Homo-oligomer: A and B are copies of this chain.
């Protein structure tokens, strides 16, 4: 941030009074422009024993398989955002959304939140951001072609938890370099 989004004047990078971190401050408007982490809301959609995955049509990781997920929008609940992303990427409707995994990715200033949910029906198809959408049984999951570590870990945990029919929310930190 170089300019104040309220008045267009240059901002100053400094630690405001009573604060401990450098911020972009507009001395004209007397406004501190905070920047905060963003939430990525996603879903692990199931149909019986199968899991729905989408093959990405966009960068990053075009061509790799993912769970439907994307940035939460203002005015949405996390579950609403997760359901919207599933509609956008897979034209799929869900029922019974339950929070399942939370990942802090501090190097990206992102927090991923995945829900488990059942597909309402089999009427799904590729959205604009997907090359392909398909249901997979556990032995057929393309583990080497998954797009992100959050996807891999959520699926691994799901298949482990499913064996014991005990699903609890897991909260994990992932520290890795930007690709």
Contact = CB atoms under 8 A, between A and B. Distances in A.
Contacts of A11: 5
22 contacts: A3-B3, A3-B5, A3-B6, A4-B5, A5-B11, A8-B8, A18-B128, A21-B73, A36-B39, A36-B72, A37-B72, A39-B39, A39-B111, A74-B109, A76-B106, A77-B173, A78-B102, A78-B104, A78-B171, A79-B104, A80-B106, A168-B169
A43 to B, nearest CB: 13
A1 B5 contact: yes
Contacts of A39: 36-37, 39, 111
A75 interface: yes
- Copies of this protein chain in the complex: 2
A11 B8 CA distance: 10
A173 B11 CA distance: 36
A62 interface: no
A62 to B, nearest CB: 15
A57 to B, nearest CB: 11
Interface residues of A, number: 45
A98 B171 CA distance: 8
A11 B76 CA distance: 24
A36 B33 contact: no
Contacts of A106: 75-77, 80
Contacts of A34: 71
A7 interface: yes
